[in-house]
Amino acid sequence: GEDVEQSLFLSVREGDSSVINCTYTDSSSTYLYWYKQEPGAGLQLLTYIFSNMDMKQDQRLTVLLNKKDKHLSLRIADTQTGDSAIYFCAESRSSASKIIFGSGTRLSIRP
């Protein structure tokens, strides 16, 4: 079946690292994505990773993929107030053009 799960809330202190976790059920997932939604806005693609990769780094963002456990994580280093948003994990399979989204994790930053 198609299911992508993530926790609903995460609170971190400004300057710390944030780690947002996601699990998915479909082992045939080909691409996995992280989207960011700022208040009152649509979703913006942050980064993506192919299923044949274990890690991808892009400036402050690090994506880790554990295919065996079907676990995806997004690490944001040196979290800033501008990182406050909802982060969506998503997956797609090569057999379909649809992307399946998780419920989103609301990241809040405390001073």
Partner 1 sequence: DVKVTQSSRYLVKRTGEKVFLECVQDMDHENMFWYRQDPGLGLRLIYFSYDVKMKEKGDIPEGYSVSREKKERFSLILESASTNQTSMYLCASSPGTAFPLYGYTFGSGTRLTVV
8 binds partner 1 (CB under 8 A): yes
Considering only residues 67 through 86, tell me which ones interact with partner 1, judged by CB under 8 A: none
C-alpha span between 43 and 51 (Å, rounded): 22
**By rule CB under 8 A, what string of x and - marks binding of each residue 42-61 to partner 1?**
xxxx--x-------------
How distant, in Å, are the alpha carbons of 54, 68, 85 from that of 104? 22, 23, 10
C-alpha span between 79 and 60 (Å, rounded): 9
Cβ distance to partner 1 smaller for residue 38 or 54:
38
Q: Please pick, from the candidates 15, 17, 54, 98, the single residue that binds partner 1 as defined by CB under 8 A.
A: 98
Report DSSP state, residue 38.
-
What's the length of the chain? 111
Nearest approach in angstroms of CB 16 to partner 1 is: 26
97 binds partner 1 (CB under 8 A): yes
C-alpha span between 41 and 75 (Å, rounded): 22
101 binds partner 1 (CB under 8 A): yes
In contact, 44 and 35? CB cutoff 8 Å: yes
Residues within the interface to partner 1 (CB under 8 A):
8, 30-31, 33, 35, 40-45, 48, 88, 90, 92-99, 101-104
